[in-house]
Amino acid sequence: MGISSTYAYKLKDRAFEILRGGIGRPAGKPPAEVETLRKRIADLEQLAGDQALVIRAFKKRAGPGRGDGDASGNETSDPPVGARRGGTGVVGGPVGEAFARGFPLAPSMPGLGDASLRRKIKTLCDQERHQRYGHRRIRALLRRRYGIVVNRKTVARIMREEGLAQPKLRFKPSRPPHVAKMRPTAPNEAWQIDMTSFALSDLTPLYLIVVIDALTRKLVGWSLDRRCRASEWIAALRMALDDQGIVTREDAARLTVRSDNGAQPCSKRFVAFLGSRGVRGQYTGYDAPDDNAFVERVIRTIKEEEIWPTVYDTWSEAHGALDAYVRWYNEERIHSALDYRTPSEAEDEWFKQKAA
C-alpha cells in the first residue's frame, strides 16, 4: 500500500513526540512499546524514502517544468540510493534503468537472476510447440509455469540476444504476373471476354457480357440479362462460337479466350464449357486490367456511345438498342487501330488475302 511522503513524515514526527514525552504520551510507557515505536519509525523512514524515489522518477519522466530539476529537465540532486543503472530488469531485482524511467516495481522475487531467467526462457522456446511463440506468450508462460513476473521488454531483449526471437510470418498468396499482350495473327485466334453493368430507369440492374476478337476488334458475341451468373457468360461465348462458325473441337484448337479472375469465368461450369468446346482459357493477372485491354476499351466505347446517353425503361428496350448498336459497330463504325476500317472489313480482307 502506498502513502504520500508528507503523511509518512507526519507519522514519523508524531512518533518522535511520543518518544520524547510530548503531547499525548501516556505516563509510564513500558520499554517494549518504546522499541516497537522505534521499529515503526525505521519502517516509516524506509517507506518515505521509497515513495520519494518513485515520485522523483515520475517527475523526471514528465519532463521539464513538471518536477524538480534544471532547465534541461535533469535532476539537480544526486539520485537516491538504489537507483543505479544495470541489473536484470526482473521484478524485484536491483533497481534498473526501467525503474529510473518511472516504472514501479512489483513484489520482489528473491533468487531469480539473469542467468536463471535466460535458462527458463530457452527451455520454453526450445519446446516443439513453442518455437513460433513471441515474447508476450513466453512471458505469460513464465508466469503460468514458474510463477515469475517479469517485464515484457526484458523477455524480448533476452530472446533477441539468444536468437530466439521469431520474425512475423506474412502469407502472401502466389499470384501470376501480368500476362503478355495478345498479338494474334489471324481472326478467331484470340478473344477477350468481360462484363459490365448499368441500370434501367427504375434502377433495375442489367449485366452486359461482351466477347471481342483481339485482331479485328469485332464484337463476336454478347449477352444481356438481369443476372450475372456463369450461364450468361456461357451464352455470350456460345453466340460467338456459333456466329464465327467454330463448331468442332478442331476449329477451336487455335482459339484462346482470356478473361479476368471473376467468379463467373473461374466457375466450374464455365471452365467445363471451355473444355467441352476445345477452347483454351486464359486468365489475366490480379489487379491487371491492362491484360484485358481490348474488351475493357470496347466496353467503355459502348457506354459512351450508347448506354450513358440513353435511358432504358425495360430490358426489351435495352436489348433491342444494344443489338442494333452491335450490328452498327461491326458493320459501319470505323476503328483507328484498323486504319479506319470497320471490324467486318478488316475480317473480310484478312480472309481474302489468305485465299489469294
Question: How deeply is 91 buried, as exposed, middle or buried, from its count of CB atoms within 10 A (0-12, 13-18, 19+)?
Answer: buried
| Rounded average pLDDT over 334-341 | 94
Predicted confidence (pLDDT) at residue 227 exceeds the cutoff of 60: yes
Cell of 315: 430490358
Tell which of 69, 101, 122 closes a domain.
Answer: 69
Do residues 150 and 227 both lie within one domain?
A: no
CATH code of the domain in which 267 resides: 3.30.420.10
Secondary structure of residue 183 in the 3-state scheme: coil
| Amino acid 167: pLDDT | 80
In a domain, 33, yes or no: yes
Nearest residue to 244 via CA among 343, 322, 356: 343
Do residues 248 and 351 both lie within one domain?
A: yes
| Amino acid 60: pLDDT | 63
Nearest residue to 91 via CA among 139, 162, 163: 139
The model's confidence at residue 336, banded by pLDDT at 50, 70 and 90, is very high
In a domain, 304, yes or no: yes
Do residues 229 and 351 both lie within one domain?
A: yes
Do residues 155 and 199 both lie within one domain?
A: no
In this prediction the pTM is 0.55
Predicted confidence (pLDDT) at residue 287 exceeds the cutoff of 50: yes
For residue 146, the enclosing domain spans: 114-161
Q: How far apart are the first and last CA of the chain?
A: 104
Instruction: For residue range 199-210, list pLDDT tens digits in order.
Output: 999 999 999 999
Number of domains in the chain: 3
pLDDT > 70: percent of the chain: 69
Q: When comparing pLDDT for 271 and 36, which is higher?
A: 271
Furthest-apart CA atoms within the chain: distance in Å: 137
Please tell me the distance from the alpha carbon of residue 307 to that of residue 300, in angstroms, as a whole number. Answer: 10
| Rounded average pLDDT over 54-75 | 54
In a domain, 167, yes or no: no
Question: What are the angstrom distances between the C-alpha of 244 and each of 168, 187, 217, 252, 327?
Answer: 54, 10, 14, 11, 14
Tell which of 45, 69, 93 closes a domain.
Answer: 69
Do residues 47 and 122 both lie within one domain?
A: no
In a domain, 275, yes or no: yes
| Amino acid 173: pLDDT | 67
CB 148 within 8 A of CB 109: yes
Do residues 155 and 223 both lie within one domain?
A: no
| Amino acid 16: pLDDT | 62
Amino acid making up residue 26: P
